[in-house]
Structure 1
Amino acid sequence: MLQMAIMAKSPQRVSVESFIDPAMLACESAFLTTCKQEFQLHWSALPPLSMLRAFEAAARCGGFSAAGRELNVTHAAVAQQVRGLEERLGTQLLRRDGRGLAPTPEGRRLAERLGEALAIMRDGVAEVIEAGAERPVRITLSTGFAAGWLTHRLGEFRAERPDVELMLNPTATLIDLPRSDFDFAIRYGRGDWKGVEVERLFVSPGVVVGAPDLVARVGIETPADLLRAPWVQELGVREWSVWLAARDVTVGEKRDVLHLPAHMALDALRAGQGVGLMTRLLVERDIADGALVALFDDEAAAPGAGYWLVRRPGPLRESAAAFAGWLRREAAKG
């Protein structure tokens, strides 16, 4: 009967907390809080790295003057840093030893630990620098700029810096630079991209051009007349549609469009295979020589448009900074 009564009794839920002493929980919580506070206190109590570095050098070199020469500061600056460290720690770290200095027992222990820590830091920094130096400088840029302006100038940079390996990626695709492994990009536009740092290299408005014979045969006087001419367009972009829409010209369906990489598009334009929208920088010489005719200039419609050096926020590694500096100098030549 007793067994049946127990079995008939409805089961009860027993929480884990009922087996834990609340006082024990409070004690554990207080212990963790104290540990956290002490951990934060220990880090906040660390002396500045400048003090630690000055002391380590003075202890190792046996004097303030030698340490100053190593750190490229005056001996007085080293002495001031060491005195500040001793005051902060409340103990003497160096003592006079003849004409030089020697660490106290406490100073010797600290100097040894600091020497090990600074060596680890130097090795870590060296590894990063060496890894950066070994990687090629990677740049993404438009095919037109690469073929029409950059490539034939690269010999000068390579002669100047034969130690820098270059890897160029000419493409019409807009790369998400902050999420890529490219060092920087050269883009055409107004420089209003978000999440990146920009620096203008050239102002170069767009211009519609065509071979003289083609222009005369078609009779192009207004933007709408361009619909009667064959088009040449850089592969991967839709510049024509955007340009004509901004001038209230509806394109509709147009089939006689030749899509080519920018350097091939220039050859097609010179051969009279169509009209094209190019940046003036790339066709300036052809216009001056009469190989192409400038039909419509885009300077008023897109003020400030040009080529920009674009990079993610932060410093460039040395090899990439060297190439960027060379680009600035070349751009300044016009």
Structure 2
Amino acid sequence: MELTDMDWRDIPSLAALRAFEAAARLNSFSAAARELNVTHAAIAQHVRALEDQFGQALMERVGRKMATTAAGRRLAQDLGEGFGIIAAGVRTLSQARADRPIAISATQNFAENWLAPRLAGFWKAHPDLPVTIAPDNAVVDLRRDGFDLAIRYGQGRWPGLEARLLTRAHRIVVAHPDVAARLPVDYSATSPKAIHALTDFAWLPEPTDMEMFTWLRALGAEPETMQITRLEANGLVLAAVRSGAGITRQPLAVVQRDLDDGRLVALLEEPESEIAYYSVHNPATISPQARVFLTWLHRAS
């Protein structure tokens, strides 16, 4: 459909047109006021403003009710058709959004290791609600990029969005049980010197862990003397560590299932902090389907 230029200077206030359409349809300023949740005086003022602009009466009192004049009836009919087209367009767009899958943005690490393994539980409970997950480490604009919600890593403060704590993200050092078994018998994860017992093993950093070297130095280790191998993707890191290739430092949420299932064991754990994974959404635009997913997500955390 070809769009035509619109000169809004020729069109009265939309609030006034809306007030008049309701008054004309209901033959009552009071009924229009109740429908639009405004005062009787506001409706009357809007109608008078339109009459002043057009230079002719649009409504008149007939007995105890208001009725449209001939000019008012023509305007009311056109407005009814126009507002009807607008309403139809809004319903079509809303229905299209309701019919599409729930769109979620999450970091690749979190999507692969925390979210994806839990999705079967959601689909079992809600088989009629499709979900799409976009694993991307970049921070997306939810409205512009068409996402219903996102899982973000941080302190829970994103202006204009509602953030709810999903799961803590303090880091933990983990290894395959066979690697852990090679630690000295007097090794204790609670000892301040425990990190030194780990420096002889190969370390595989989580790719986005930019603080690992600082953390190691703070514990008295010398990263420059350690065997550290960097891999491009955390999926590769975890696969290698699960096979016994070395040690890694990961967010607890990412390796929790590995710990629960015994594929990995904890060697050192950092104290909890305000840094965590949060569900983030725009409260003004979240769809009913996305809200169902959000409720399930927090129950599954």
Normalising by structure 2, report the TM-score.
Answer: 0.70
Please state how far the C-alpha of 1:296 moved relative to its aligned partner: 1.8
Pick aligned residue for 2:145 from 175, 178, 181: 181
Normalising by structure 1, report the TM-score.
Answer: 0.64
Question: Does structure 1 conserve the Cα–Cα contact (< 8 Å) formed by 2:205 and 2:212?
Answer: yes
RMSD (CA atoms): 4.1
Distance 2:180 2:107 in 1: 27
Distance 2:300 2:89 in 1: 40
- Tell which has more relative contact order, 1 or 2 (C-alpha 8 A, sep 6+): 2
Partner of 1:259: 231
Identify, as 1 or 2, the structure richer in helix.
1
Question: Does structure 1 conserve the Cα–Cα contact (< 8 Å) formed by 2:19 and 2:46?
Answer: no
Q: Secondary structure at the match of 1:201?
A: strand
Change in CA separation of 1:178 and 1:327 when aligned onto 2, cut-off 3 Å: closer
Pick aligned residue for 2:275 from 290, 294, 305: 305
Change in CA separation of 1:232 and 1:192 when aligned onto 2, cut-off 3 Å: farther
Please state how far the C-alpha of 1:304 moved relative to its aligned partner: 1.4
- Counterpart code for 1:318: S
Distance 1:204 1:236 in 2: 13
Question: Does structure 2 conserve the Cα–Cα contact (< 8 Å) formed by 1:139 and 1:182?
Answer: no
Pick aligned residue for 1:241 from 183, 201, 213: 213
Determine whether 1:323 maps to 2:290. Answer: yes
Determine whether 1:83 maps to 2:44. Answer: yes
Q: What is the count of residue pairs matched by the alignment?
A: 282
Q: Secondary structure at the match of 1:259?
A: coil
Partner of 1:229: 201
Partner of 1:167: 132
Change in CA separation of 1:130 and 1:209 when aligned onto 2, cut-off 3 Å: same
Partner of 1:148: 113
Matches within 5 A, 1:15-54: 46-47=12-13, 49=15, 51-54=16-19
Change in CA separation of 1:189 and 1:225 when aligned onto 2, cut-off 3 Å: farther
Distance 1:106 1:94 in 2: 9
Determine whether 1:280 maps to 2:252. Answer: yes
Q: Secondary structure at the match of 1:257?
A: coil
Question: Does structure 2 conserve the Cα–Cα contact (< 8 Å) formed by 1:233 and 1:260?
Answer: no
Partner of 1:4: none
Question: Does structure 1 conserve the Cα–Cα contact (< 8 Å) formed by 2:98 and 2:287?
Answer: yes
Distance 2:33 2:159 in 1: 45
Q: Secondary structure at the match of 1:228?
A: coil
Change in CA separation of 1:249 and 1:61 when aligned onto 2, cut-off 3 Å: same
Indicate the percent of aligned positions where both proteins have the same amino acid: 31
Distance 1:323 1:246 in 2: 43
Please state how far the C-alpha of 1:317 moved relative to its aligned partner: 4.2
Partner of 1:205: 170
